[in-house]
């Protein structure tokens, strides 16, 4: 019997779901009973990875069958859904988190901004020494000068008290820093600094989607912030918002290890200034002046009515270029996957908190050899009665600010007094098939590319103070996974291996 196209598609998708249920059991969430069995010492414990079900596979295949391919209806829907989740004006999809950082910084170089706000070659952008290189690379790629300050090794984040010493009147235009490993930086201090000097704040939120930061209402009002993010009820005393919504512009990564995935992919979030969307979109889409979505013409109603540059009057706006841009759009099937992942994001965030706590609980008596991370503003971790609730209690500093972390990883710093190094531990974990990573590039100033850059172009970067915290992270820290695919059995194995290793030293 012949099937209609709709019936044929439905049958293909039914079989797709069945195939995925059988083929992808190892990628299901850690609390999914259908997940494949963990065999200690044989099954790899990844530090991160894709967590999905047949929902994402069906969405990808369904979108591919429609064969729009380039960014289209799925992308438009995902951009709106992500923006609504975060509570920002716009989200703009790109092909990676690194591209998101490049587009975000590039948007602030446009000639369409007032001269005192435009980042020009030779202007300075404050950043932090230890982290991932593509937080810093866009500064250099746009001809600006990155100004490095140190990290706090306990949080992995910027030492905010050093910001003033990095400021150069007339030169400093922005701060571009990441929320480290799903731990928000000191948003209050950074915002106060940026407001005081009229600087842009670019939040690299690639490792921190779903983190929240709270500040007392009185402080928020001083900074011109009065509203909570959607979905976060006010408690009457604090303003609470997701990270990636406090600055002017922020970025996301949807690479497989991150909080949700599209395979490759990322986003630029425009927090509250609509013109920044037009600038970012232009740099993403070849540098063109036109803002029509792919496949659509004459959104402005005057496609042949513009007179820009030295082009003849009425030159086609779709082929008018105001910037030296790129083509950094993802594909529509990727966005279809991302939409399914976004629906699971709240559960993923909860799992990351539970997993961090489970590891912290299981290793809590090893404080003689390890220093453990703390959320920014926390002064101490209070051991709960049982592990895995995701409701760890912390003691907090006197600022009244708080964090709720969506942990990207569980960082351990091996004390100098220990009889082993972080590299010894990393090698042992690797041999036991336990995934682990250094804190990305460590102190980036020690990386070959930056060492060579300082030799070739000494004025291309500026360093403020000693990078003792960044060096400590580089020399002593590794991190384990907290991703939602971890099972209790996997974490018990990790804890057991680490404890046995310490005892044997």
Q: 196-218: b or e for each residue (b if 16 or more CB lie within 10 Å)?
A: eeebbbbbbbbbbbbbbbbbbbe
Residue 223 has which token pair? 């900074």
Token pair 């990155």 is at which residue?
A: 146
Query: How open is the CA angle 481-353-415, to the nearest 5 degrees?
Result: 55
Q: 307-317: b or e for each residue (b if 16 or more CB lie within 10 Å)?
A: eeeeeeeebeb
Residue 477 Cα distances to 155, 178, 181, 366, 419, angstroms: 12, 18, 12, 15, 15
Beta strand 477-481 with 437-438: parallel, antiparallel or unpaired?
antiparallel
d(CA 148, CA 143): 16
d(CA 209, CA 316): 39
Residues 6+ positions from 406 with CB-CB distance below 8 Å: 182, 208, 209, 210, 211, 259, 349, 352, 353
Query: Is 197 designated active site?
Result: no
Contact 178, 204 (CB under 8 A): yes
Catalytic hit among 24, 179, 258, 259: 258
d(CA 401, CA 415): 29
Residue 489 has which token pair? 């059995």
45 DSSP 8-state letter: B
d(CA 354, CA 368): 24
Find the radius of gyration of the CA atoms of the chain: 24
d(CA 466, CA 464): 7
Residue 214's SS3 state is strand
Q: In angstroms, how far is CA 286 from the centroid of its own chain?
A: 24
Catalytic center residues: 258
């Amino acid at each position: 019997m012949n099937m209609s196209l709709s019936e044929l598609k439905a049958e293909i998708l039914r079989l797709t779901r069945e195939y995925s249920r059988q083929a992808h059991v190892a990628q299901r969430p850690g609390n999914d009973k259908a997940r494949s069995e963990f065999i200690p010492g044989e099954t790899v414990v990844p530090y991160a990875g894709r967590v999905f079900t047949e929902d994402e596979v069906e969405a990808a295949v369904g979108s591919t069958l429609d064969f729009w391919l380039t960014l289209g209806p799925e992308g438009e829907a995902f951009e709106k859904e992500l923006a609504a989740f975060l509570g920002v004006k716009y989200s703009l999809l790109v092909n990676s988190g690194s591209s998101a950082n490049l587009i975000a910084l590039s948007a602030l170089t446009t000639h369409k901004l007032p001269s005192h706000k435009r980042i020009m070659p030779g202007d300075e952008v404050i950043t932090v020494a230890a982290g991932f290189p593509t937080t810093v690379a866009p500064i250099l790629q746009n001809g600006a000068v990155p100004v490095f300050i140190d990290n706090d090794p306990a949080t992995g984040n910027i030492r905010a008290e050093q910001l003033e010493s990095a400021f150069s009147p007339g030169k400093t235009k922005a701060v571009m820093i990441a929320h480290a490993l799903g731990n928000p930086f000191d948003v209050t201090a950074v915002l106060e600094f940026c407001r005081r000097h009229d600087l842009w704040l670019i939040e690299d939120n690639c490792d921190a989607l779903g983190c929240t930061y709270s500040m007392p209402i009185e402080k928020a009002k001083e900074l011109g912030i009065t509203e909570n993010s959607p979905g976060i009820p006010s408690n009457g005393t604090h303003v609470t918002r997701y990270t990636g919504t406090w600055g002017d512009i922020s970025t996301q990564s949807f690479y497989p290890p991150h909080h949700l995935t599209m395979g490759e992919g990322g986003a630029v979030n425009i927090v509250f200034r609509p013109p920044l969307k037009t600038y970012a979109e232009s740099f993403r889409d070849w540098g063109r002046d036109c803002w029509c979505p792919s496949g659509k013409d004459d959104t402005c109603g005057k496609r042949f009515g513009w007179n820009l540059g030295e082009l003849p009057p009425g030159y086609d706006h779709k082929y008018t270029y105001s910037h030296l841009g790129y083509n950094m759009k993802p594909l529509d099937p990727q966005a279809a996957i991302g939409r399914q992942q976004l629906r699971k994001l709240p559960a993923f965030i909860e799992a990351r908190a539970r997993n961090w706590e489970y590891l912290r609980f299981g290793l809590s008596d090893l404080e003689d050899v390890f220093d453990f991370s703390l959320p920014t503003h926390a002064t101490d971790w209070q051991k709960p009665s049982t592990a895995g609730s995701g409701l760890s209690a912390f003691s907090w500093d006197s600022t009244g600010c708080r964090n709720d972390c969506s942990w990207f990883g569980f960082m351990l710093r091996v004390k100098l007094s220990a009889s082993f190094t972080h590299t010894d531990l990393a090698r042992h974990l690797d041999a036991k098939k336990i995934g682990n990573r250094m804190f990305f590039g460590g102190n980036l100033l020690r990386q070959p590319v930056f060492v060579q850059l300082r030799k070739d172009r000494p004025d291309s970067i500026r360093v403020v103070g000693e990078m003792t915290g960044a060096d400590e992270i580089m020399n002593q820290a590794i991190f384990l996974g907290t991703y939602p695919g971890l099972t209790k059995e996997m974490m018990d194995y990790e804890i057991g291996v680490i404890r046995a290793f310490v005892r044997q030293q």
